[in-house]
């Protein structure tokens, strides 16, 4: 990492969105998970999704990744279709469970996807650099059984970034970790992200969303829709001191209010 990387200011608002979601509807038979959902994500923007449990955050993420087929609506990634993006290996995915292969060492697990994809994506030097960046220097040869939960999730993050995807999609990647490890991994994620690609990040933590994001999108309870969004007026790089700032407090307070509204909508619609 260079000094220029560390000292970048707030990300500029990109003109051409990297991800465009228009009037998306996803139904699983009679169950409607998402309804009339529209969202755009800028080229180097970090966007978090917040909302009540079951509001369709993960469904939205999977629809963008092509893992769930929309019932109606449109999704464009880098100006093309989701299918084109998948063929181009555009997506790096990180889920709550790191799902490492127990017979492969940390380094081998981290380079698995890049190894499978091959070609220009196969760069062992990039894997080594990322492992150092996430604090796993000295653990490259360790098997998953010898790694803590936080270490395993670091390997999963490196695995998702090792083949240099165009888009990073993360579904509650730190939810199973203790508070201190979760906080530290948020900092690690920002360090390796460095405003280099669009991120959609699903979380239930308001503070985590504010600390990581350029913008936080709040969704209503099922069927999920975008209720509102909050732009985070904090500079980059993010620091612990920002968590004591007026801007941080204002953003978390507004998001808590929106979550209350989203849950209230659920009560009213549920009768």
Q: In 177-188, which positions are buried (b, 16+ CB within 10 angstroms) versus exposed (e)?
A: beeebbbbbbeb
Q: Which of 94, 39, 36 is nearest to 215 (CA)?
A: 39
CATH code given to domain 15-90+202-271: 3.40.50.300
87-125 per-position pLDDT tens digit: 999 999 999 999 999 999 999 999 999 888 876 677 888
Q: Which of 163, 191, 165, 173 is nearest to 99 (CA)?
A: 173
Beta strands in the chain (DSSP E): 19-28, 31-41, 46-50, 72-77, 80-81, 91-94, 167-171, 199-202, 215-219, 226-231
Task: Pick the range with the lowest mean pLDDT from 18-27, 120-129, 217-226.
Answer: 120-129
Q: Which two tokens stand for residue 163?
A: 């083949």
Higher pLDDT, 229 or 126: 229
For the full predicted model, state whether its pTM sits above 0.85: yes
39-62 per-position pLDDT tens digit: 999 999 999 999 998 899 999 999
CB atoms within 10 A of CB 105: 18
CB atoms within 10 A of CB 22: 13
Q: Which two tokens stand for residue 123?
A: 């760069």
199-202 and 46-50 strand pairing: parallel
């Amino acid at each position: 990492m260079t000094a220029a990387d560390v000292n970048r200011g707030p990300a500029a608002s990109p003109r051409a969105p990297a991800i465009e979601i228009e009037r998306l509807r996803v139904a699983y038979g009679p169950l409607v998970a998402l309804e009339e959902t529209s969202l755009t994500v800028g080229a180097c923007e970090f966007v978090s999704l917040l909302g009540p449990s079951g509001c369709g955050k993960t469904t939205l993420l999977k629809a963008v990744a092509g893992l769930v087929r929309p019932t109606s609506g449109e999704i464009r990634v880098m100006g093309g279709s989701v299918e084109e993006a998948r063929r181009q290996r555009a997506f790096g995915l990180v889920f709550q469970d790191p799902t490492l292969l127990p017979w492969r060492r940390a380094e081998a697990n981290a380079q698995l996807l890049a190894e499978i994809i091959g070609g220009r994506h196969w760069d062992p030097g990039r894997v080594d650099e990322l492992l150092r960046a996430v604090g796993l220097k000295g653990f490259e040869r360790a098997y998953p059984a010898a790694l803590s939960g936080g270490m395993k999730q670091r390997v999963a993050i490196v695995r998702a970034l090792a083949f240099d995807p165009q888009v990073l999609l993360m579904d509650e990647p730190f939810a199973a970790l203790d508070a201190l490890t979760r906080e530290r991994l948020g900092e690690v994620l920002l360090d390796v992200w460095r405003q280099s690609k669009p991120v959609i990040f699903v979380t239930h933590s308001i503070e985590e969303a504010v600390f990581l994001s350029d913008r936080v999108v709040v969704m209503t309870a099922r069927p999920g829709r975008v209720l509102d969004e909050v732009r985070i007026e904090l500079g980059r790089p993010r620091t612990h001191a920002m968590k004591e700032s007026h801007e941080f407090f204002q953003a978390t307070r507004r998001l808590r209010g929106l979550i209350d509204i989203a849950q209230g909508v659920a009560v009213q619609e549920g009768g």
